[in-house]
Chains A and B, each alone.
Chain A
Amino acid sequence: MFRSTTLRLLLLLGCALVAQPAAARTVTDSAGRVVELPERIETVFASGPPASILVYVVKPEVLTGWPRALRPEEAPYIAEPYRDLPETGRLTGRGGDANLERVLQIEPDLIIDFGSVRDTYIDLADRVQRQTGIPYLLIDGRFEATPAALRLVGEVLGVPERAETLARDVEQTFARVDEILAATPESERPTVYLARGPDGLETGLKGSINTEIIERAGGRNVADPGDGRRGLVRASIEQVMVADPEIIVTWDSHFYQRAQLDPLWAGIEAVRTDRVYLAPTVPFGWIDRPPSLNRLMGLRWMAGLLYPDAWDEALREDARAFYQLYYHVDLADAELDRLLEWSKGRPPE
């Protein structure tokens, strides 16, 4: 035991001595991993959809591809030069369909993963880094950690000022929501149900990454088993009726239409009072899908839905400004109209 430890220390020391001159700088990622980085980073491989959005928002020039090629309806909402980036697949997470050799072929200066920093992902990052020799950063994807993530990535990519601007914007948004929440006791906050899936009966339990946005915007998620469990589950329509949410949010247009027509949903308060909302999904979903910076737009939208009196931002200008600041696009009026119509429940066909 003693000998192997000494040996490892010696080895590490040796490696450090050898590596020291070549390494330009080291960065500690959200998982506490110390990663050596080249001085300038020109190309970044995003390991999955959340990371691709983070990189695109902070510094689109370095992005080497999209995990999934953009769909025609998404393209107008992405700045021109980046619409046709190649499809690269996902490196981690549930899919893992990107080929390491393809990553090597792209030869990125850095791989970024944005999301869970649990052991599985640490291990995965270490393995990919060891196998490819490409530095791999793990960045904490929790919603509350967004400003920190922006600053870290801004630092790494050499655009600290832009990252700071964005991080401040996020902090301000959080602070404004918190102000409203401070004035609204828990019991007075509206109840919200997130309807997923074609029949609207999939939902996320309170505290899940899929519903984080609801709680952050000050909604009470009705899917709360009360025992701290999380994740996606199936509900029954009877449970939804008992919970009787004041607001239903979805991004599935089939379900949105069904909720208006199906007599089973007709008795639920949100449907009766016409408070079923359809979240736009271009270029990225407003409330989730994937869970990345796109949720900031969703947070603003939901704050307006849940607290129309206290949240005085006009959605139109808010969306225009958000898409400009985050997604580098000046939306034409027609595109903006589409987004707003969408958020009122009239999805583009």
Chain B
Amino acid sequence: MIGRAPGVRVSLVLALGLIVAALSVGALAIGPFALSPAETMVALFGGGEEQAQVVVQNIRLPRVAAALLVGAALAAAGASYQTLFRNPLVSPDILGVSAGAGLGAVIGIFLSLPVAFIQLFAFAGGLAAVVLVTVVASAVRNTDRILALVLTGVVIGALAGAATSLLKVLADPYDQLPAITFWLLGSLASVTTTDILPALPAVLIGLVPLVLLRWRINVLSLGDDEARALGVEAGRVRFIVIAAATLITASVTALAGVVGWVGLVIPHIARMIVGPSFARLLPVSAIIGAGYLLVVDTLARTIGAVEIPLGILTAVIGAPFFIWLLASGRRGWS
């Protein structure tokens, strides 16, 4: 298996990509501002009424792009963490990224900063949490380094959560508290192109090492001793994967707020389709994640008269689905 690791089935990736592309076009045409598919297409390429152009190019296009980016990123990070930790219950926020990013954003809202700074604080908070986790975990004298990492992640995450709660108590209940609540539930409602531009390169930079190291990460999923026997240096690969997945998660969390469940559930679906090999799991997870969050965000902005926070929908859809996945006993992990 390892010696002749199978490559990604190009046709499958292509087919999934086409489906997601079709969904994206559909999502572009849906919204409260009534536009026919034809008008949407015209507006997309710079024709038609000015107002329609603004809606399609400046509102829906960034939002669709952001949904694809966030979904793909969270699912890719989730697949990486799950493979790395050899644990199907791991999600991208396992090392406290979301809790740290949440705390960063809440500090920004608490200080009444502009949106760009709130996002910057969220990004910095996510990274800081994981740095703290890795530093503390390396100081913990424990033979099982993965266990030490995960436990430290839980602890730091809880601390960040406590600090967030403290700020909620101190926040202006008529102004800041609702803003904090909405941010912690995740949303793409106000995403603009200028929000995506800094997140996109960060996600790509994070994806590059994951793609390059895909075989080694696969080997790592067998366990440290086996990996060492096969000539893979577990510690370094693990460090790179954590850094990359953290960068990815922190950048999209800064963009969209805290969106749970995508990074946990999507890799399971991908694994059902292509099996556990990381080289296949990574691209398929990313594509399915992109399509999934696109659909969820389109629901979020269309099913009600008001926006439904993303984090609520991903949980409401993701949690029952995950239970079904567990109960159906489908081939998954090994």
Interface residues of A (CB under 8 A from B): 49, 68, 90, 93-95, 97, 196-199, 201-202, 205, 210, 223, 225-227, 229, 232-239, 241-242, 251-252, 254, 258, 262-264, 267, 285, 288-291
The answer, yes or no, to whether B32 is at the interface (CB within 8 Å) is: yes
Residues of B within 8 A of A288 (CB): 174
In the complex, which range does the number of interface residues on chain B fall in?
35 or more
A94 adjacent to B179 (CB under 8 Å): no
The answer, yes or no, to whether B167 is at the interface (CB within 8 Å) is: no
A199 adjacent to B190 (CB under 8 Å): yes
**Shortest CB–CB separation between residue A259 and chain B, in angstroms?**
12
B182 adjacent to A198 (CB under 8 Å): no
The answer, yes or no, to whether B248 is at the interface (CB within 8 Å) is: no
B59 adjacent to A202 (CB under 8 Å): no
Q: How far is the CA of A90 from the CA of B304 in the complex (A)?
A: 34
A289 adjacent to B175 (CB under 8 Å): yes
* With contact pairs A196-B179, A264-B59 given, residues A236 and B112 touching in the complex (Cβ less than 8 Å): no
Closest to B60 in A: A238
The answer, yes or no, to whether B187 is at the interface (CB within 8 Å) is: yes
**Shortest CB–CB separation between residue A216 and chain B, in angstroms?**
17
Residues of A within 8 A of B54 (CB): 241, 263-264, 267
Mask: chain B, 164-196; 1 = CB below 8 Å from A; 0 = not: 000001001111011100100001011010000
Interface positions of B from 16 to 68, Cβ below 8 Å from A:
31-33, 50-51, 54-55, 58-60, 63
Interface positions of B from 179 to 220, Cβ below 8 Å from A:
179, 182, 187, 189-190, 192
A236 adjacent to B301 (CB under 8 Å): yes
Closest to B190 in A: A199
**Shortest CB–CB separation between residue A342 and chain B, in angstroms?**
15
Residues of B within 8 A of A234 (CB): 182, 187, 189, 306-307, 309
**Shortest CB–CB separation between residue A135 and chain B, in angstroms?**
25
* With contact pairs A237-B59, A241-B55, A263-B54 given, residues A202 and B178 touching in the complex (Cβ less than 8 Å): yes
With beta carbons under 8 angstroms apart, the residue of A90, A197, A241, A285 that contacts B51 is: A241
**Shortest CB–CB separation between residue B250 and chain A, in angstroms?**
20
The answer, yes or no, to whether B113 is at the interface (CB within 8 Å) is: yes
Can you list 16 A-B pairs with a CB-CB distance of less than 8 A?
A: A49-B173, A68-B172, A197-B178, A198-B113, A198-B118, A234-B306, A234-B307, A234-B309, A235-B189, A236-B307, A237-B59, A254-B114, A262-B192, A289-B174, A290-B173, A291-B174
B33 adjacent to A254 (CB under 8 Å): no
Residues of A within 8 A of B175 (CB): 196, 251-252, 289
Closest to B118 in A: A198
With beta carbons under 8 angstroms apart, the residue of A235, A241, A290 that contacts B306 is: A235
Residues of A within 8 A of B114 (CB): 198, 254, 258
Q: How far is the CA of A125 from the CA of B33 in the complex (A)?
A: 47
Q: How far is the CA of A68 from the CA of B172 in the complex (A)?
A: 9
**Shortest CB–CB separation between residue B133 and chain A, in angstroms?**
29
Residues of A within 8 A of B301 (CB): 236, 238
Interface positions of B from 284 to 326, Cβ below 8 Å from A:
301, 304-307, 309
Residues of A within 8 A of B94 (CB): none
Residues of B within 8 A of A225 (CB): 304-306
5 cross-chain pairs, A with B, having the tightest CB-CB distances, nearest first: A225-B305, A289-B174, A233-B306, A199-B190, A234-B307
A202 adjacent to B182 (CB under 8 Å): yes
Q: How far is the CA of A226 from the CA of B51 in the complex (A)?
A: 26
**Shortest CB–CB separation between residue A162 and chain B, in angstroms?**
27
B58 adjacent to A263 (CB under 8 Å): yes
The answer, yes or no, to whether B148 is at the interface (CB within 8 Å) is: no
The answer, yes or no, to whether B115 is at the interface (CB within 8 Å) is: yes
With beta carbons under 8 angstroms apart, the residue of B59, B115, B174, B177 that contacts A238 is: B59
Q: How far is the CA of A227 from the CA of B109 in the complex (A)?
A: 31
Residues of B within 8 A of A251 (CB): 175
* With contact pairs A198-B118, A237-B59 given, residues A254 and B112 touching in the complex (Cβ less than 8 Å): yes
B55 adjacent to A232 (CB under 8 Å): no
A198 adjacent to B112 (CB under 8 Å): yes
Residues of A within 8 A of B50 (CB): 267
Residues of B within 8 A of A68 (CB): 172
B118 adjacent to A239 (CB under 8 Å): no
Residues of A within 8 A of B118 (CB): 198
B174 adjacent to A242 (CB under 8 Å): no
* With contact pairs A201-B190, A267-B51 given, residues A289 and B115 touching in the complex (Cβ less than 8 Å): no
Q: How far is the CA of A202 from the CA of B181 in the complex (A)?
A: 11
Residues of B within 8 A of A262 (CB): 192
B32 adjacent to A239 (CB under 8 Å): yes
**Shortest CB–CB separation between residue B68 and chain A, in angstroms?**
17
Residues of A within 8 A of B63 (CB): 236
